[in-house]
Every structure is written in C-alpha cells, then in structure tokens.
Amino acid sequence: MMINEYEELLTNGSLQKEYFNVLKDTRWHCRDCAGRQIGSTQIAGGGGIQGLQRGTKSRPGLITETKREYCDVCKKTSTWDRWTGEYTESSSAAGLPRKLQTQIFEYYDYTDSIEQRRRQTHELVIDHRFPMERWGAIEERNPSDMSDQYIERKFQLLKKDSSGNHNLLKSRACERCIATGKRGYPMGIKYYYVGDENWPSDCPEKGSEAERGCYGCGWYNFNLWRTALNRFIEQNKTKEKA
C-alpha cells in the first residue's frame, strides 16, 4: 500500500492522521516533541500510536518500533517511535464483533478492574491483557462464541473517562517495560505476585511465549494482583501477631 493510499483511510484532523504525518518519514521521533508539534498529549493511547498499530476493519495496522532515549530538544529521556514502513493485518480490539464486546462487558458486569465501579460502555475499554506490542505477529483469531474462561484469560475492562484513562497508563507502563526490561507496577505499589520488576531472563521479548513474562504484573491482571496483594498483607499481619 502506498503512503498516500493509507493517508486516505485516516480521518482528516484526527490525532492518528496527524501522528502518521510525523511518522511517515520512517525516522525516530521523540513522542513528547511530536505531541507539542501536533498539539496533543494523548499520543500513546488508542487514539494515537496504539490505534495506528492495531488498525481497524477498513485499514491495516502499522509495524512500529519503540525505545527510550534522551532527547536533545526537550532535554529529557522520553519515548520514541519509528514506523518501519511496513503494514500488518488489523488486530484492533475495537474491531471485536459487537456481540463479543457485549459478552465481555456482561461477563465483567460492566465493572472496571481497577476502581471496581460499574460504568457505561463508553467509559470502559476492552483491554487485551497481553500487550499488542509483544505479540510479534497477528494475534490468534478470537472465537465467535467465547467461553467465560477464554474471556478471563484474554481480556479485562479498564476505565476511560474525563477523570482518567487507565488504558493509557497501562500502555505507558508496557512501553517502558519493553524499552527497559523493567516491569511496571500500578499506583506506585511495587508488588508482583510472580517474579520481580525484571523481565524474566529466560523469557522471549515477543511472541506467544512472551506472555508468561507478564505474569505477576498488576497491569496484566489487576484483579489477580489485588487478590494476591491482599493475601500477602494478611499473611504478614499474622506473622506480626505470632
């Protein structure tokens, strides 16, 4: 696909089109500097780089690279993006069939994982537990009729409203993990129910086998992380009393 053909598939004035116009030279770009250039601080989310990477039903995704590096312009270490010039088949979570989206919302009772509040669908994001940047290839096709076990394994619901965007926070944590090999931790609580902050040395960085490197991270499965953390706290209370 030619660059001008791809541009025609993007909505005029959208953040995705603005950022694609920055990335289309296939050079490395500091995300903070690019954000100031196009007037947005939301480049990391689904409306920006993630949306470009995932694609939609009508357009392919972009294959990009991400790194952390010092920027001589903004004088700080920041996230950088580069489009490789290649496209990939769409793997958009937003492209899930409506019936499947409803099934996922109903399974979790329209409740976000972190704040445990019931919300309207427009305030929720269906999040892939395993970040797309680590897939290494197109994710396996989702079955049309998912079992509850499959939904639990693959997805969680995160908040996205005017008071906060947990999907964006997770995305940034995953990007830092990929760039530095240091796993993130939600809300500043440095706890892991499996492993520690370091990406496992025996685990590949991308591909289906890489998912086990996410086990134990709160961003990967916040419900399991909270349960394990509460159990850890209770066990230590018992030890103190003994």
| Domain termination residue (choose one: 65, 88, 111) | 88
pLDDT recorded at residue 27: 95
The residues, ordered by sequence, that sit 6+ positions from 124 with a Cβ below 8 Å of its Cβ are 105, 110, 112, 157, 158, 159, 160
Domain coverage including residue 170: 96-241
pLDDT recorded at residue 66: 86
Q: Is the pLDDT of residue 188 over 70?
A: yes
| Domains held by the chain: number | 2
Instruction: For residues 196 and 79, state if they share a domain.
Output: no
User: pLDDT digits over 18-73, tens only?
Assistant: 999 999 999 999 999 999 999 988 888 767 888 888 777 678 888 888 889 999 99
Band of the pLDDT at 184, cuts 50, 70, 90?
very high
More confident residue, 172 or 115: 115
Instruction: For residues 30 and 109, state if they share a domain.
Output: no
Instruction: For residues 204 and 117, state if they share a domain.
Output: yes
SS3 content of the chain, % helix, strand, coil (to 5): 40, 20, 40
Instruction: For residues 119 and 217, state if they share a domain.
Output: yes
Instruction: For residues 74 and 191, state if they share a domain.
Output: no
Q: In what order do the strands lie in the sheet with 61-71?
A: 29-30, 76-88, 61-71
Instruction: For residues 15 and 103, state if they share a domain.
Output: no
pTM of the model: 0.63
Band of the pLDDT at 242, cuts 50, 70, 90?
low
| Domain termination residue (choose one: 88, 107, 129) | 88
pLDDT recorded at residue 137: 54
